[in-house]
DNA sequence: TTGACAGTTGAATATGTGTTCATATATAAT
DNA sequence: ATTATATATGAACACATATTCAACTGTCAA
């Protein structure tokens, strides 16, 4: 009678691997934040916005024109990106300029592109 | 009368920035694949699976035990990861061992963790 | 102060997705 | 052959989310 029977619907097959892996797993909070970070990058619109902002700080209307999408849609996505700490903004009169907050985004981005090129 | 009026619901404010950014944007296919790649990483269960596989190749039951989830759920996620070219597998009798396919995953992963640590 | 415009935001809708459940396949052992 | 087990998979459900629409705030100019 396996000790895990109330946790999973199957038996442990390689107890040593399961034990050592289990011991090395980070806490749930780390995994949640990690997944959340990637989830933010996992949308075509947001990826395009980030690519654009990687080159220039831009206002909402300009981004909307580059992506050929509505201001509202872009503004919603920028809100999501700002709340995730991936972009920040600066106000200037009626306009709001957005820019990347964190250079990790750039790194992750470039490796992602490499990955895709490599897979072709 | 702005030339973009039929595309967006707003005017171009900084024509030079919009033009140079538009010119440098990769094609839609690249953005779609990039977003797809990050989307796959943007799920807590898959992130956990990838973390585990980064240390040992493992069979479905073992992964299910480490994550304390059902075999079916893990199998579905492994299917997703395999179809995306992020993990590959090796059969041995009744068991199927999974492992990371691509080392870019490891790199992206580590930068993601750095990002999270940095934000605390 | 009035109008125009940049931007934000809540609600609604449409679409996508993760888990569960039931079932199917494949391999090994009796 | 039959049984047990490891894995896969289709359908269904619940939940999340991207865009649109409408309404709103705030700023500038006339």
- pLDDT score at A106: 87
Using a pLDDT cut of 70, give the percent of chain B over it: 94
Q: Does residue B110 sit at the A interface (CB-CB below 8 Å)?
A: no
Higher pLDDT, B69 or B106: B69
Please give the average per-residue pLDDT across B36-44, as a whole number.
Answer: 97
Distance CA B52, CA B37 (A): 19
Give the model's confidence band at B3: pLDDT under 50 very low, under 70 low, under 90 confident, else very high.
Answer: very low
pLDDT at residue A2 above 50?
A: no
Give the model's confidence band at A23: pLDDT under 50 very low, under 70 low, under 90 confident, else very high.
Answer: very high
CB of B72 under 7 A from strand D?
yes
Contact flag A112-B38 (C-beta cutoff 8 Å): yes
- pLDDT score at A109: 86
pLDDT tens digit sequence for A67-112: 999 999 999 999 999 999 999 999 999 999 999 998 888 889 889 9
Please give the average per-residue pLDDT across A21-47, as a whole number.
Answer: 96
Query: What nucleotide is nearest A73 when CA is compared to C1'?
Result: D19
- pLDDT score at B119: 78
- pLDDT score at B120: 72
Tell me how crowded residue A58 is: count the other CB atoms within 10 A of its CB: 26
Calculate the average pLDDT of chain A.
Answer: 91
Tell me how crowded residue B61 is: count the other CB atoms within 10 A of its CB: 23
Please give the average per-residue pLDDT across B90-107, as a whole number.
Answer: 93
Give the model's confidence band at B5: pLDDT under 50 very low, under 70 low, under 90 confident, else very high.
Answer: very low
The closest alpha carbon to B61, from A10, A80, A28, belongs to: A10
Let me know the angle formed at the C-alpha of B17 by B12 and B23, rounded to the nearest 5 degrees: 100
- pLDDT score at B6: 52
Higher pLDDT, B4 or B117: B117
Calculate the average pLDDT of chain B.
Answer: 91
Q: Which residue(s) pair with B89 in the sheet?
A: B98
Distance CA A50, CA A112 (A): 13
User: For A66, which of B18, B111, B114 is closest by C-beta distance?
Assistant: B18
Measured in angstroms, what separates residue A9's CA from nucleotide D20's C1'? 44
**Tokens coding B15:** 């024509």
Q: Which residue(s) pair with A100 in the sheet?
A: A87
Residues 50-79 of A with CB under 8 A from B: 51-52, 55-56, 58-62, 64-66, 68-72
Please give the average per-residue pLDDT across B96-119, as a whole number.
Answer: 89
């Amino acid at each position: 009678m396996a000790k895990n029977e109330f946790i999973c619907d199957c038996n442990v097959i390689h107890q040593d691997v399961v034990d050592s892996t289990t011991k090395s797993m980070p806490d749930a909070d780390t995994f949640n934040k990690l997944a959340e970070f990637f989830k933010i990058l996992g949308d075509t619109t947001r990826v395009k916005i980030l690519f654009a902002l990687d080159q220039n700080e831009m206002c909402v209307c300009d981004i909307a024109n580059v992506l050929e999408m509505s201001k509202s849609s872009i503004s919603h996505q920028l809100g999501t990106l700002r709340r995730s700490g991936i972009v920040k903004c600066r106000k200037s009169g009626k306009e709001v300029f957005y820019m990347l907050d964190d250079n990790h985004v750039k790194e992750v981005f470039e490796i992602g592109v490499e990955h895709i090129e490599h897979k072709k």
